[in-house]
Amino acid sequence: MLTVFSPDHIRHDPHVEMADGKLVPAVEIPRRAEMVHFAVLEAELGEIIAPDPLDRALVEQVHDASYVQFLESFWQRWLDAGRDPNVDDTFPFVWPTPGLRKVETRHLDGLMGRYSFDAGTPMGSGTWQAVSASAATAQTAAIKVSEGLPHAFALCRPPGHHAMPDAYGGYCFLNNAAIAAQALRNGGAETVAVLDVDYHHGNGTQAIFYNRSDVFFASIHADPMDEYPYFLGHADEIGAGDGEGFNLNLPLPIGTLWPDYANVLSHVLAQIEAFKPDAMVISLGLDTFERDPISQFALKNDDFKTLGAALGGATVPTVIVFEGGYAVDDLAVNAVNTLTGFLDGHTTR
């Protein structure tokens, strides 16, 4: 399996985040990707390449141009405002909630609120470099699959599935899975399925494709009545307009074990097969693991082999995009288990 990976991910290096009403040590850290990269290399899963330069026009097919410009220019604006150049954990503190206007302010604090939806996603001096490299990683993997590879692994960091068309949050800035799906469409796939198996709902991916019938989005995640992102990911969200019927959410209760997860996964894969996509994107979150520090499912190390084998049974070209997973000491094991299981399932289907 081809892996695409950029060392520039380390440019985004937060130290703290906002969680449970207070500042706590950050969990979305460079070591996550470094551990997975080393494990893929050690397991000899295949060639590892650097991404090609990011296609800005592709990004702006799924994100608003003004939002992308904000991300790119943020740090310079921070410096121009005379703020501390040694701070790498900056946060918004006011948002245009209902009753307020969503306008482009001149003041940076207003812009940060305009282009974010939570206070738990820090930005710093190297965030744009890391974010653009992560998006380029997904783009390159998708292009390689469009050119004929049966599958590729985009080892993205920061993750992307929470990133909305015009807002960042949930550690995500550009939506890597959506960029991969759009790249597959641009590469000739008439229809694409996106399957999100992260513990948290991919609210950003849903929002980007909610009115489209060419991309079927399905997500298995913790019930948003109990878990982040709370305000999207409910079962009654089925798409709108041309996209009605092309959005499938399967929320599961806190504490879900593999047998129940597997039953739902089987149902979702059957729905994807019925959609008959030309290609598929898997948002691979590994935070369904039993010891993940911010999640509450109970999948075990070996369950990820079975998960990978089920995903590998798909009959279409597939891009696997790395998302969440914060139990760093087990992350490499779970990633390799999933990828090897995928390859076994793909070979024997």
* Residue where the block lists tokens 């960091």: 157
All residues at 6 or more sequence positions from 251 whose CB lies less than 8 Å from its CB, including other chains: 201, 221, 222, 223, 224, 225, 233, 234, 235
Residue 69 structure tokens: 């410009």
* pLDDT tens-digit readout, 52-98: 999 999 999 999 999 999 999 999 999 999 999 998 899 999 999 99
Q: Angle CA(262)–CA(266)–CA(270) in degrees, nearest 5? A: 170
Angle of helix 303-312 relative to helix 258-275, nearest 10 degrees, comes to: 10
**Under 8 Å between Cβ of 13 and 126:** yes
pLDDT given for residue 346 in this prediction = 79
* 312-348 tens-digit pLDDT: 998 899 999 999 999 999 999 999 999 999 999 876 4
**Spatial separation of the C-alpha atoms in residues 90 and 121, rounded to whole Å:** 8
Q: Which is nearest to 162 in space by CA: 173, 151, 147?
A: 173
pLDDT of residue 5: 98
Single out the catalytic residue among 162, 200, 221, 346: 162
- Cα–Cα distance measured from residue 259 to residue 234, given in angstroms and rounded to the nearest whole number: 22
Question: Count of alpha carbons within 13 Å of 325, Cβ hemisphere only?
Answer: 32
Q: Give pLDDT, residue 315.
A: 83
pLDDT at position 347 is 64
Rounded-to-integer distance, Cα 214 and Cα 278, Å: 10
Low-confidence ranges of the chain (pLDDT < 70): 347-349
Domain coordinates in residue numbering, the chain:
2-348
Q: Of the candidates 302, 293, 335, which has an alpha carbon nearest to the alpha carbon of residue 36?
A: 335
Taking only the tens place, the pLDDT of each residue in 277-294 is 999 999 999 999 999 999
346 belongs to the catalytic site: no
| CATH number given to 2-348 | 3.40.800.20
pLDDT at 64: 98
The dihedral of CA 268, 269, 270, 276: what is its sign? positive
Are the CB atoms for 342 and 174 separated by under 8 Å? no
